[in-house]
Chain A
Amino acid sequence: MEQKFTGFKCKSCGRVMYPKHDRCLDCKGTEFEEVELGEDATLLTYTKLYALPEGIEMPPLVLGIVKFPGGVRAMGQLTTDDPKIGMKLRPVWGKLRKMKDREIFGFKFEPLK
Protein backbone atom coordinates (compact mmCIF):
# COMPACT_ATOMS: atom_id res chain seq x y z
CA MET A 1 0.00 0.00 0.00
CA GLU A 2 1.29 3.45 -0.85
CA GLN A 3 2.15 5.56 2.21
CA LYS A 4 0.37 8.88 2.57
CA PHE A 5 1.62 11.97 4.35
CA THR A 6 -0.74 12.54 7.25
CA GLY A 7 -1.52 15.17 9.83
CA PHE A 8 -3.53 14.97 13.03
CA LYS A 9 -7.00 16.46 13.25
CA CYS A 10 -8.28 17.50 16.66
CA LYS A 11 -11.59 15.79 17.35
CA SER A 12 -12.86 18.71 19.42
CA CYS A 13 -12.08 21.75 17.28
CA GLY A 14 -11.03 20.36 13.90
CA ARG A 15 -7.58 21.96 13.73
CA VAL A 16 -5.13 19.86 11.73
CA MET A 17 -1.56 19.67 13.01
CA TYR A 18 1.77 18.26 11.94
CA PRO A 19 3.78 17.05 13.80
CA LYS A 20 1.60 15.42 16.43
CA HIS A 21 1.08 17.09 19.78
CA ASP A 22 -0.50 15.35 22.75
CA ARG A 23 -2.75 18.36 23.27
CA CYS A 24 -4.29 20.48 20.53
CA LEU A 25 -2.52 23.80 19.88
CA ASP A 26 -5.86 25.59 19.83
CA CYS A 27 -8.25 23.95 22.29
CA LYS A 28 -5.98 21.60 24.29
CA GLY A 29 -8.15 18.67 23.15
CA THR A 30 -6.47 15.29 23.47
CA GLU A 31 -8.12 13.17 20.78
CA PHE A 32 -7.03 13.17 17.17
CA GLU A 33 -7.67 11.35 13.95
CA GLU A 34 -5.08 10.90 11.23
CA VAL A 35 -5.96 12.71 8.01
CA GLU A 36 -4.26 12.85 4.61
CA LEU A 37 -2.77 16.23 3.80
CA GLY A 38 -2.94 15.97 0.04
CA GLU A 39 -0.69 15.65 -2.99
CA ASP A 40 -0.03 19.21 -4.06
CA ALA A 41 1.99 21.21 -1.61
CA THR A 42 3.53 24.63 -2.35
CA LEU A 43 7.16 25.50 -1.62
CA LEU A 44 7.47 28.45 0.79
CA THR A 45 11.22 28.58 1.36
CA TYR A 46 14.27 26.37 0.95
CA THR A 47 18.00 26.05 1.45
CA LYS A 48 20.83 24.12 -0.13
CA LEU A 49 22.93 22.83 2.72
CA TYR A 50 26.66 22.35 2.16
CA ALA A 51 27.75 21.59 5.75
CA LEU A 52 26.16 18.15 5.71
CA PRO A 53 24.87 16.21 8.69
CA GLU A 54 25.98 12.63 9.25
CA GLY A 55 24.85 10.01 6.77
CA ILE A 56 24.20 12.30 3.83
CA GLU A 57 26.82 11.82 1.16
CA MET A 58 26.40 14.36 -1.59
CA PRO A 59 26.17 18.10 -1.07
CA PRO A 60 24.06 20.01 -1.33
CA LEU A 61 21.19 18.67 0.74
CA VAL A 62 18.12 20.57 -0.43
CA LEU A 63 15.61 21.25 2.36
CA GLY A 64 12.41 23.22 2.24
CA ILE A 65 9.17 24.13 3.95
CA VAL A 66 6.03 23.25 2.01
CA LYS A 67 2.42 24.20 2.62
CA PHE A 68 -0.38 21.69 2.01
CA PRO A 69 -3.73 22.83 0.59
CA GLY A 70 -5.37 22.94 4.04
CA GLY A 71 -2.61 25.23 5.35
CA VAL A 72 -0.57 22.67 7.28
CA ARG A 73 3.17 23.02 6.65
CA ALA A 74 6.00 20.48 6.74
CA MET A 75 9.77 20.62 6.48
CA GLY A 76 11.68 18.06 4.49
CA GLN A 77 14.17 17.14 1.80
CA LEU A 78 13.43 18.15 -1.78
CA THR A 79 14.34 15.79 -4.61
CA THR A 80 15.18 18.68 -6.96
CA ASP A 81 18.38 20.73 -7.15
CA ASP A 82 16.49 23.59 -8.71
CA PRO A 83 13.83 24.63 -6.21
CA LYS A 84 11.67 27.68 -6.87
CA ILE A 85 9.47 29.36 -4.31
CA GLY A 86 5.83 28.70 -5.21
CA MET A 87 6.54 25.45 -7.08
CA LYS A 88 4.21 22.50 -6.48
CA LEU A 89 5.57 19.37 -4.82
CA ARG A 90 4.16 16.08 -3.63
CA PRO A 91 5.28 13.88 -0.75
CA VAL A 92 7.09 10.69 -1.75
CA TRP A 93 8.37 7.98 0.58
CA GLY A 94 12.10 7.28 0.42
CA LYS A 95 15.42 6.96 2.15
CA LEU A 96 16.36 10.14 4.05
CA ARG A 97 19.82 9.34 5.39
CA LYS A 98 21.93 6.90 7.32
CA MET A 99 22.32 7.38 11.06
CA LYS A 100 24.78 5.18 12.90
CA ASP A 101 24.63 2.63 10.05
CA ARG A 102 20.84 2.54 10.18
CA GLU A 103 18.87 3.63 7.13
CA ILE A 104 16.20 6.18 7.92
CA PHE A 105 13.10 6.44 5.73
CA GLY A 106 10.50 9.17 5.54
CA PHE A 107 8.73 11.58 3.21
CA LYS A 108 10.59 13.84 0.83
CA PHE A 109 9.06 16.29 -1.60
CA GLU A 110 9.17 15.82 -5.37
CA PRO A 111 8.17 18.42 -7.98
CA LEU A 112 4.79 17.78 -9.61
CA LYS A 113 5.09 17.27 -13.34
Chain B
Amino acid sequence: MRDVAIIGCGMTKFGRLEGKDLMDLLAEASLRAIDDAGAGERDFDSVYVGNMMAGELVHQTAIASALVDRINLIPAGAERVENGPASGASAVKNGFLAVASGASDLVLVAGGEKMTAVDTDVIGDLVSTMTHPTAEYVHGVTLPAMAAMLTRLYMERYGVTERHLAMVAVKNHANALKNPYAHLHRECTIEGAMNSIMIADPLRLYYACPISDGAAAVVLCPLEKAKEFTDKPVRIAGFGHASDVQTLQEREDPAVLKSVQLASQQAFKMAKLEPNDIGVVETHDAFEILEIVQSEDAGFFEKGKGHLAVEKGVTALDGELPINPSGGLKAKGHPVGATGVAQIVELVWQLRGEAGERQVKDPKRGFACNFGGFGNNTVIHILERGW
Protein backbone atom coordinates (compact mmCIF):
# COMPACT_ATOMS: atom_id res chain seq x y z
CA MET B 1 0.00 0.00 0.00
CA ARG B 2 1.18 3.53 -0.76
CA ASP B 3 1.34 6.23 1.90
CA VAL B 4 -1.52 8.69 1.47
CA ALA B 5 -1.43 12.43 2.15
CA ILE B 6 -4.09 15.07 2.62
CA ILE B 7 -2.86 18.02 0.56
CA GLY B 8 -5.83 20.35 0.81
CA CYS B 9 -8.96 20.89 2.83
CA GLY B 10 -11.89 23.25 3.18
CA MET B 11 -15.37 23.56 4.57
CA THR B 12 -18.42 25.78 4.61
CA LYS B 13 -19.69 27.42 7.71
CA PHE B 14 -22.06 25.06 9.55
CA GLY B 15 -25.51 26.24 10.61
CA ARG B 16 -28.97 27.01 9.35
CA LEU B 17 -27.76 28.17 5.95
CA GLU B 18 -30.73 29.74 4.25
CA GLY B 19 -30.39 30.29 0.53
CA LYS B 20 -27.79 27.55 0.07
CA ASP B 21 -28.83 24.15 -1.15
CA LEU B 22 -26.92 20.89 -0.81
CA MET B 23 -25.08 21.25 -4.11
CA ASP B 24 -24.08 24.85 -3.27
CA LEU B 25 -22.55 23.59 -0.03
CA LEU B 26 -20.73 20.62 -1.57
CA ALA B 27 -19.39 22.79 -4.39
CA GLU B 28 -18.21 25.52 -2.02
CA ALA B 29 -16.36 23.11 0.30
CA SER B 30 -14.86 21.16 -2.63
CA LEU B 31 -13.57 24.25 -4.40
CA ARG B 32 -12.02 25.49 -1.17
CA ALA B 33 -10.21 22.17 -0.71
CA ILE B 34 -9.03 22.06 -4.33
CA ASP B 35 -7.87 25.65 -4.04
CA ASP B 36 -6.10 24.92 -0.74
CA ALA B 37 -4.27 22.05 -2.49
CA GLY B 38 -3.39 24.25 -5.43
CA ALA B 39 -4.87 21.53 -7.60
CA GLY B 40 -7.16 23.73 -9.69
CA GLU B 41 -5.47 22.81 -12.95
CA ARG B 42 -5.19 19.10 -12.26
CA ASP B 43 -7.33 16.21 -13.40
CA PHE B 44 -8.86 14.18 -10.60
CA ASP B 45 -9.17 10.40 -10.83
CA SER B 46 -11.99 9.83 -8.35
CA VAL B 47 -14.53 11.58 -6.18
CA TYR B 48 -16.27 10.25 -3.06
CA VAL B 49 -19.19 12.12 -1.54
CA GLY B 50 -20.30 11.30 2.00
CA ASN B 51 -24.01 11.90 2.40
CA MET B 52 -26.64 10.20 4.49
CA MET B 53 -30.01 11.22 3.12
CA ALA B 54 -30.12 13.66 0.23
CA GLY B 55 -32.94 11.67 -1.35
CA GLU B 56 -35.08 12.03 1.74
CA LEU B 57 -34.09 15.60 2.66
CA VAL B 58 -33.74 17.49 -0.60
CA HIS B 59 -35.21 15.05 -3.08
CA GLN B 60 -32.00 14.68 -5.04
CA THR B 61 -30.13 11.47 -5.79
CA ALA B 62 -26.83 10.66 -7.55
CA ILE B 63 -25.29 13.73 -5.94
CA ALA B 64 -21.71 12.67 -6.73
CA SER B 65 -22.53 12.83 -10.45
CA ALA B 66 -24.07 16.24 -9.86
CA LEU B 67 -20.97 17.47 -8.02
CA VAL B 68 -18.47 16.54 -10.75
CA ASP B 69 -20.73 18.26 -13.26
CA ARG B 70 -21.10 21.37 -11.15
CA ILE B 71 -17.38 21.92 -10.49
CA ASN B 72 -16.08 20.14 -13.58
CA LEU B 73 -14.12 17.24 -12.28
CA ILE B 74 -15.27 15.30 -15.33
CA PRO B 75 -14.32 12.54 -16.21
CA ALA B 76 -13.37 11.47 -12.64
CA GLY B 77 -15.25 8.42 -11.41
CA ALA B 78 -17.68 9.68 -8.77
CA GLU B 79 -19.82 8.00 -6.16
CA ARG B 80 -21.82 8.74 -3.05
CA VAL B 81 -20.89 6.89 0.15
CA GLU B 82 -23.55 6.23 2.78
CA ASN B 83 -22.89 4.98 6.28
CA GLY B 84 -25.43 6.88 8.37
CA PRO B 85 -23.80 9.69 10.35
CA ALA B 86 -20.39 8.15 9.56
CA SER B 87 -20.88 8.65 5.82
CA GLY B 88 -18.17 11.34 5.87
CA ALA B 89 -15.47 9.18 7.44
CA SER B 90 -16.48 6.26 5.25
CA ALA B 91 -15.98 8.50 2.19
CA VAL B 92 -12.51 9.49 3.48
CA LYS B 93 -11.70 5.82 3.99
CA ASN B 94 -12.73 5.04 0.42
CA GLY B 95 -10.58 7.89 -0.86
CA PHE B 96 -7.67 6.64 1.21
CA LEU B 97 -8.01 3.12 -0.18
CA ALA B 98 -8.25 4.38 -3.76
CA VAL B 99 -4.92 6.20 -3.40
CA ALA B 100 -3.23 3.59 -1.20
CA SER B 101 -4.05 0.81 -3.66
CA GLY B 102 -2.49 2.70 -6.54
CA ALA B 103 -5.81 2.94 -8.37
CA SER B 104 -6.05 6.74 -8.09
CA ASP B 105 -3.47 9.52 -7.88
CA LEU B 106 -5.68 12.49 -7.14
CA VAL B 107 -8.91 12.15 -5.19
CA LEU B 108 -11.53 14.56 -3.87
CA VAL B 109 -13.54 13.52 -0.82
CA ALA B 110 -16.48 15.71 0.11
CA GLY B 111 -19.25 15.31 2.64
CA GLY B 112 -22.39 17.34 3.04
CA GLU B 113 -25.95 17.45 4.32
CA LYS B 114 -28.79 19.96 4.03
CA MET B 115 -30.75 19.09 7.16
CA THR B 116 -32.81 22.24 7.63
CA ALA B 117 -34.63 21.55 4.37
CA VAL B 118 -37.26 19.76 6.49
CA ASP B 119 -38.82 20.35 9.94
CA THR B 120 -37.23 19.13 13.18
CA ASP B 121 -39.78 16.34 13.68
CA VAL B 122 -39.09 15.00 10.19
CA ILE B 123 -35.33 14.98 10.92
CA GLY B 124 -36.00 13.22 14.22
CA ASP B 125 -37.96 10.54 12.40
CA LEU B 126 -35.49 10.13 9.52
CA VAL B 127 -32.59 9.77 11.94
CA SER B 128 -34.62 7.24 13.94
CA THR B 129 -34.99 5.07 10.84
CA MET B 130 -31.35 4.03 11.49
CA THR B 131 -32.59 2.01 14.45
CA HIS B 132 -33.85 -1.57 14.27
CA PRO B 133 -37.22 -1.52 12.46
CA THR B 134 -39.09 -3.92 14.76
CA ALA B 135 -37.05 -4.02 17.96
CA GLU B 136 -36.53 -0.24 18.27
CA TYR B 137 -38.11 2.06 15.68
CA VAL B 138 -41.79 1.09 16.01
CA HIS B 139 -41.60 1.50 19.78
CA GLY B 140 -40.86 5.20 19.36
CA VAL B 141 -37.13 4.93 19.96
CA THR B 142 -35.17 7.98 18.76
CA LEU B 143 -31.45 8.72 18.83
CA PRO B 144 -31.84 11.12 21.79
CA ALA B 145 -33.74 8.34 23.60
CA MET B 146 -30.89 5.87 23.03
CA ALA B 147 -28.32 8.42 24.15
CA ALA B 148 -30.42 9.08 27.26
CA MET B 149 -30.56 5.38 28.13
CA LEU B 150 -26.80 5.08 27.68
CA THR B 151 -26.31 8.17 29.84
CA ARG B 152 -28.39 6.69 32.63
CA LEU B 153 -26.41 3.43 32.51
CA TYR B 154 -23.23 5.47 32.84
CA MET B 155 -24.63 7.48 35.72
CA GLU B 156 -25.62 4.31 37.59
CA ARG B 157 -22.43 2.47 36.96
CA TYR B 158 -19.64 5.03 36.90
CA GLY B 159 -20.93 7.96 38.92
CA VAL B 160 -21.21 10.30 35.95
CA THR B 161 -23.49 13.20 36.89
CA GLU B 162 -25.45 15.72 34.88
CA ARG B 163 -22.79 18.26 35.77
CA HIS B 164 -20.23 16.23 33.80
CA LEU B 165 -22.42 16.40 30.71
CA ALA B 166 -22.72 20.14 31.23
CA MET B 167 -18.93 20.43 31.56
CA VAL B 168 -18.44 18.79 28.18
CA ALA B 169 -21.02 21.14 26.65
CA VAL B 170 -19.40 24.22 28.22
CA LYS B 171 -15.99 23.19 26.88
CA ASN B 172 -17.27 22.50 23.38
CA HIS B 173 -19.29 25.71 23.20
CA ALA B 174 -16.22 27.67 24.33
CA ASN B 175 -14.13 26.04 21.60
CA ALA B 176 -16.82 26.74 18.99
CA LEU B 177 -16.74 30.43 19.90
CA LYS B 178 -13.18 30.38 18.54
CA ASN B 179 -14.22 28.56 15.37
CA PRO B 180 -15.65 30.81 12.65
CA TYR B 181 -17.14 27.74 10.93
CA ALA B 182 -19.18 26.60 13.95
CA HIS B 183 -22.97 26.52 14.03
CA LEU B 184 -23.62 27.59 17.62
CA HIS B 185 -21.71 30.73 18.54
CA ARG B 186 -22.96 31.27 22.02
CA GLU B 187 -21.45 30.92 25.43
CA CYS B 188 -22.74 28.06 27.51
CA THR B 189 -22.54 27.99 31.29
CA ILE B 190 -23.00 25.03 33.62
CA GLU B 191 -26.17 26.62 35.01
CA GLY B 192 -27.47 27.50 31.55
CA ALA B 193 -26.95 23.94 30.33
CA MET B 194 -28.49 22.44 33.47
CA ASN B 195 -31.55 24.64 33.09
CA SER B 196 -32.11 24.02 29.38
CA ILE B 197 -35.20 22.08 28.34
CA MET B 198 -35.37 18.34 28.88
CA ILE B 199 -35.53 16.41 25.61
CA ALA B 200 -34.99 12.85 26.81
CA ASP B 201 -34.49 12.60 30.57
CA PRO B 202 -31.65 12.92 31.67
CA LEU B 203 -30.65 14.65 28.42
CA ARG B 204 -31.32 18.34 28.05
CA LEU B 205 -31.04 20.44 24.91
CA TYR B 206 -27.44 21.38 25.73
CA TYR B 207 -26.36 17.74 25.91
CA ALA B 208 -27.34 17.20 22.25
CA CYS B 209 -26.10 18.48 18.92
CA PRO B 210 -28.16 20.90 16.83
CA ILE B 211 -29.57 20.26 13.36
CA SER B 212 -27.17 21.80 10.85
CA ASP B 213 -26.41 22.33 7.18
CA GLY B 214 -22.87 22.22 5.92
CA ALA B 215 -20.17 20.55 3.86
CA ALA B 216 -16.46 19.78 4.12
CA ALA B 217 -13.86 18.40 1.70
CA VAL B 218 -10.29 17.12 1.46
CA VAL B 219 -7.94 16.34 -1.42
CA LEU B 220 -5.78 13.21 -1.29
CA CYS B 221 -2.73 12.04 -3.23
CA PRO B 222 0.19 9.66 -2.66
CA LEU B 223 2.57 11.06 -0.02
CA GLU B 224 5.47 10.77 -2.48
CA LYS B 225 3.73 13.27 -4.77
CA ALA B 226 2.47 15.58 -2.04
CA LYS B 227 5.45 17.96 -2.26
CA GLU B 228 4.22 19.00 -5.71
CA PHE B 229 1.28 20.61 -3.91
CA THR B 230 2.22 21.59 -0.37
CA ASP B 231 5.01 21.87 2.19
CA LYS B 232 2.72 20.51 4.87
CA PRO B 233 1.11 17.29 3.71
CA VAL B 234 -0.80 15.43 6.42
CA ARG B 235 -0.36 11.68 6.30
CA ILE B 236 -3.24 9.31 6.97
CA ALA B 237 -1.33 7.02 9.30
CA GLY B 238 -4.12 4.55 9.91
CA PHE B 239 -7.80 3.84 9.84
CA GLY B 240 -10.12 1.38 11.51
CA HIS B 241 -13.68 0.41 10.74
CA ALA B 242 -15.82 -2.00 12.72
CA SER B 243 -19.48 -2.78 13.35
CA ASP B 244 -21.57 -4.23 16.17
CA VAL B 245 -25.14 -5.48 16.61
CA GLN B 246 -27.70 -2.88 15.64
CA THR B 247 -29.76 -2.62 18.81
CA LEU B 248 -28.31 -1.02 21.93
CA GLN B 249 -29.84 -3.69 24.15
CA GLU B 250 -28.24 -6.62 22.37
CA ARG B 251 -24.66 -5.33 22.75
CA GLU B 252 -22.46 -7.55 24.88
CA ASP B 253 -22.54 -4.67 27.34
CA PRO B 254 -24.81 -1.75 26.36
CA ALA B 255 -22.41 0.65 28.11
CA VAL B 256 -19.51 -0.38 25.88
CA LEU B 257 -19.08 0.86 22.31
CA LYS B 258 -17.33 -2.22 21.04
CA SER B 259 -17.14 -0.96 17.47
CA VAL B 260 -15.23 2.08 18.77
CA GLN B 261 -12.86 -0.21 20.67
CA LEU B 262 -12.22 -2.46 17.67
CA ALA B 263 -11.92 0.30 15.08
CA SER B 264 -9.55 2.24 17.36
CA GLN B 265 -7.37 -0.80 17.96
CA GLN B 266 -7.20 -1.43 14.21
CA ALA B 267 -6.23 2.18 13.52
CA PHE B 268 -3.55 2.26 16.22
CA LYS B 269 -2.13 -1.03 14.97
CA MET B 270 -2.00 0.14 11.37
CA ALA B 271 -0.38 3.44 12.41
CA LYS B 272 2.00 1.62 14.79
CA LEU B 273 0.99 4.12 17.45
CA GLU B 274 -0.62 4.18 20.89
CA PRO B 275 -3.19 6.49 22.47
CA ASN B 276 -0.29 8.26 24.20
CA ASP B 277 1.05 9.42 20.86
CA ILE B 278 -2.06 11.44 20.02
CA GLY B 279 -2.06 15.20 20.58
CA VAL B 280 -5.56 16.19 19.49
CA VAL B 281 -8.87 14.34 19.18
CA GLU B 282 -12.20 14.94 17.46
CA THR B 283 -15.04 12.74 18.76
CA HIS B 284 -18.59 12.11 17.61
CA ASP B 285 -20.35 13.95 20.43
CA ALA B 286 -23.82 14.04 18.89
CA PHE B 287 -24.74 13.66 22.57
CA GLU B 288 -22.31 14.71 25.27
CA ILE B 289 -22.19 11.31 26.93
CA LEU B 290 -20.66 10.00 23.71
CA GLU B 291 -17.56 12.15 24.05
CA ILE B 292 -16.94 10.56 27.44
CA VAL B 293 -17.66 6.99 26.32
CA GLN B 294 -15.64 7.28 23.11
CA SER B 295 -12.65 8.78 24.92
CA GLU B 296 -12.61 5.63 27.06
CA ASP B 297 -13.39 3.01 24.44
CA ALA B 298 -10.83 4.52 22.04
CA GLY B 299 -8.23 3.88 24.73
CA PHE B 300 -7.41 7.40 25.96
CA PHE B 301 -8.85 6.90 29.45
CA GLU B 302 -9.69 3.91 31.59
CA LYS B 303 -13.29 2.67 31.29
CA GLY B 304 -15.50 4.65 33.63
CA LYS B 305 -12.92 7.41 34.14
CA GLY B 306 -13.55 9.63 31.11
CA HIS B 307 -15.71 12.05 33.08
CA LEU B 308 -12.88 12.55 35.58
CA ALA B 309 -10.61 13.67 32.74
CA VAL B 310 -13.24 16.25 31.78
CA GLU B 311 -13.45 17.36 35.40
CA LYS B 312 -9.67 17.84 35.59
CA GLY B 313 -9.51 19.83 32.37
CA VAL B 314 -7.43 17.16 30.58
CA THR B 315 -9.67 17.46 27.50
CA ALA B 316 -9.77 21.28 27.43
CA LEU B 317 -8.08 23.25 24.66
CA ASP B 318 -5.02 23.75 26.88
CA GLY B 319 -5.20 20.33 28.53
CA GLU B 320 -2.99 17.29 27.99
CA LEU B 321 -5.37 15.78 25.45
CA PRO B 322 -7.63 18.40 23.89
CA ILE B 323 -10.88 16.85 22.64
CA ASN B 324 -13.07 18.61 20.09
CA PRO B 325 -11.16 21.86 19.66
CA SER B 326 -13.54 22.55 16.76
CA GLY B 327 -16.50 22.67 19.15
CA GLY B 328 -17.46 19.08 18.33
CA LEU B 329 -20.79 18.02 16.94
CA LYS B 330 -22.32 19.73 19.97
CA ALA B 331 -21.41 23.26 19.00
CA LYS B 332 -19.71 23.14 15.62
CA GLY B 333 -22.86 21.38 14.41
CA HIS B 334 -23.69 18.03 12.86
CA PRO B 335 -24.72 18.05 9.20
CA VAL B 336 -24.57 14.25 9.27
CA GLY B 337 -22.85 13.46 5.95
CA ALA B 338 -20.36 16.33 6.42
CA THR B 339 -19.30 15.51 9.97
CA GLY B 340 -16.68 12.82 9.34
CA VAL B 341 -14.96 14.92 6.69
CA ALA B 342 -15.13 18.06 8.83
CA GLN B 343 -13.40 16.22 11.69
CA ILE B 344 -10.53 15.44 9.31
CA VAL B 345 -10.43 19.07 8.13
CA GLU B 346 -10.13 20.26 11.73
CA LEU B 347 -7.29 17.82 12.43
CA VAL B 348 -5.45 18.95 9.30
CA TRP B 349 -5.69 22.58 10.39
CA GLN B 350 -4.55 21.64 13.89
CA LEU B 351 -1.56 19.65 12.62
CA ARG B 352 -0.57 22.42 10.20
CA GLY B 353 -0.86 24.97 13.00
CA GLU B 354 -3.59 26.91 11.20
CA ALA B 355 -6.41 26.63 13.71
CA GLY B 356 -6.22 30.25 14.85
CA GLU B 357 -7.52 31.03 18.31
CA ARG B 358 -8.42 27.40 18.97
CA GLN B 359 -4.97 26.08 18.01
CA VAL B 360 -3.87 23.22 20.24
CA LYS B 361 -0.23 23.46 21.29
CA ASP B 362 1.93 21.82 18.65
CA PRO B 363 0.10 18.53 18.01
CA LYS B 364 1.96 15.93 15.94
CA ARG B 365 -0.87 13.45 15.55
CA GLY B 366 -4.63 13.60 15.55
CA PHE B 367 -7.43 11.07 16.04
CA ALA B 368 -10.99 11.22 14.70
CA CYS B 369 -13.97 9.06 15.67
CA ASN B 370 -17.08 9.18 13.48
CA PHE B 371 -19.93 6.83 14.06
CA GLY B 372 -22.81 5.52 12.05
CA GLY B 373 -26.01 4.26 13.65
CA PHE B 374 -25.88 4.57 17.41
CA GLY B 375 -22.35 3.35 17.90
CA ASN B 376 -22.72 0.19 15.85
CA ASN B 377 -20.57 1.21 12.88
CA THR B 378 -17.48 3.25 13.67
CA VAL B 379 -14.80 4.70 11.44
CA ILE B 380 -11.55 5.95 13.00
CA HIS B 381 -8.74 7.87 11.33
CA ILE B 382 -5.31 8.73 12.69
CA LEU B 383 -3.46 11.58 11.00
CA GLU B 384 0.12 12.74 11.41
CA ARG B 385 2.39 15.38 10.04
CA GLY B 386 3.87 14.25 6.76
CA TRP B 387 6.72 16.75 6.73
A interface, CB within 8 angstroms of B:
17-19, 25, 44-54, 56, 60-61, 63-65, 73-77, 85, 96-97, 99, 104, 106
Contacts and interface: CB of A to CB of B under 8 A. Distances in A.
Nearest to B203: A47
Contacts of B197: 50
Interface of B: 121, 124-125, 128, 132, 134-136, 138-142, 144-145, 148-150, 152-153, 156, 197-203, 245, 247-250, 254
A51 B248 contact: no
Contacts of A76: 139
Contacts of A44: 153, 254
A50 B140 contact: no
A109 B54 CA distance: 37
B254 A48 contact: no
Contacts of A56: 140
A50 to B, nearest CB: 6
A48 B200 contact: yes
A75 B138 contact: no
B247 A51 contact: no
A105 B138 CA distance: 9
4 A-B pairs closest in CB distance? A47-B148, A73-B249, A19-B135, A48-B201
A73 B153 CA distance: 14
A92 B195 CA distance: 36
Nearest to B152: A45
Contacts of B136: 75
A45 B201 contact: no
Contacts of A50: 197-201
B148 A49 contact: yes
A17 B252 CA distance: 12
A49 B203 CA distance: 9
A75 B201 contact: no
B245 A25 contact: yes
